[in-house]
Structure 1
Amino acid sequence: MRDVGRWVMCRVRLYRPDGNPLRRRTDRVEALAALACVLMFTASLALAFLTGNALYRDGLAAERSGQWVAARVLRDAPVPRTSIDTVRTELRTPVSWVDTHNRQVIADAPVFLGTKAGTTVRVWLDAKGRPGGTQPDRAMTVARALAGATGAVTVAGGLLLGCFALVRRSLDRRRYAEWDVAWLAVAGKTRGANPETS
């Protein structure tokens, strides 16, 4: 943990605007790029919060908008024959129920393997009246919201780090070119001042 703190303090000292005359233009540009990345990452936290909040609200709406109905199975669901079949415990089978307008509806809904025709089962209908699996629960809603927010932060952080790495690479190339020119100038002056070495 101490090493991380030391690294952070080193970065702060490197990028802070202190008016040092030895700082090159490339150093100032890199400091501005680092500040821009930090500000954009901070803004991405707000975006992640909005993403997570939207997913959470959608999940709550899905929890409240559907309904359970009692449906009658119209055809026998297959009986599991092998141990591999028992892994898939549900299969979509035709069922019928009466909707709120007193009309009979027939659709495929998930029922357990081996369910006999004529059996009454509970079926979850979504907001559009389509039979689904099970009612979305609060744990799933929270998990989706957290995953969405975490994903947004991760993507934003990765993109910003990649952009900063490209900027720094470009600046490093410029620094190396400037250093080469400076070394050649120093070597030329040294050679001119000491003609015996030529």
Structure 2
Amino acid sequence: MRSIVGLWRWRGNPLCRRSDRREAWLAFWAVVLIVLGAPLVGWLGTVKAHDALLSTVEQQRQNRHQVWASAESLATRPPVDTDPESAAEPDTRRQVTARWTGPDGTSHSGTVRAGHGVQPGERFRIWTDDQGRIASRPMTERSAGSHAALAGLAAAAGTAGALEAARRLAIRQVMRRRYARWDAEWQRIGPDWGRTGTSN
């Protein structure tokens, strides 16, 4: 940003070098692309992720079913229910060994999580897939929207970071060429420095 302001202030100054103008233009276009491009990429990422997640929601609604399970005993083994959305929540459910019949009519048994008050002999609801295997609860549209928003934010931040990294690399190249020209000029006039007008 300072490069842009400096270019505007020095625009008519003969001491303003071509590399100064190039540096200012790089900064200007980087700002424009970050301000306009990053939000656009974030919005497109949100829309694409939301569409994909809504498709997943619909697929899960079709392939996952709630069935009744009968608790047989309190379990000592880890449960087969591995719901990633509930992993971070405090565990208010107990583990029980249960039996259930899948949507396809097959009988199953295993260790699952049930409500904290469920006792052996009681019935409770669990989620299964089409084959009766334990499955996590289907994703809700609200969760899909939240995940899509996070994906859009990540896409926007990644785009802004990539643009800033590209600007820094370009500026580094400009500075390298500037220093190389300075070295060449110094090699040309350095040996005669301070001896202008003197005779040998």
In structure 1, the partner of 2:196 is 192
The correspondence for 2:67, drawn from 67, 70, 76, is 70
Q: Does 1:34 align with 2:31?
A: no
Equivalent residues in 2 for 1:174-185 (5 A)? 174-183=177-186, 185=189
Please state how far the C-alpha of 1:138 moved relative to its aligned partner.
4.6
Equivalent residues in 2 for 1:111-150 (5 A)? 111-112=113-114, 118-125=121-128, 131-150=134-153
The correspondence for 2:5, drawn from 1, 13, 36, is 13
The two structures, once aligned, show a CA RMSD in angstroms of 4.1
**Structure 2 portions without partners, runs of 5+:** 78-89
| Structure 1 pair 108–189 and aligned structure 2 pair: CA distance change class (3 A) | same
Distance in structure 2 (CA, Å) of the matches to 1:46 and 1:153: 8
Equivalent residues in 2 for 1:95-110 (5 A)? 95-99=99-103, 103-104=105-106, 106=108, 110=112
* 1:9-34 deviation digits (Å, cap 9, x = unpaired): x3432356957654333233334433
In structure 2, the partner of 1:52 is 46
Q: SS state of the match for residue 73, structure 2? A: coil
In structure 1, the partner of 2:80 is none
In structure 1, the partner of 2:18 is 25
Please state how far the C-alpha of 1:103 moved relative to its aligned partner.
3.0
| Structure 1 pair 87–172 and aligned structure 2 pair: CA distance change class (3 A) | same
* Residue type at the aligned position of 2:108: I
* 1:64-100 deviation digits (Å, cap 9, x = unpaired): 55155232247534159xxxxx95846596642352x
Structure 1 length as normaliser, TM-score? 0.64
Q: How many residues in Structure 1 have an aligned counterpart in Structure 2?
A: 181
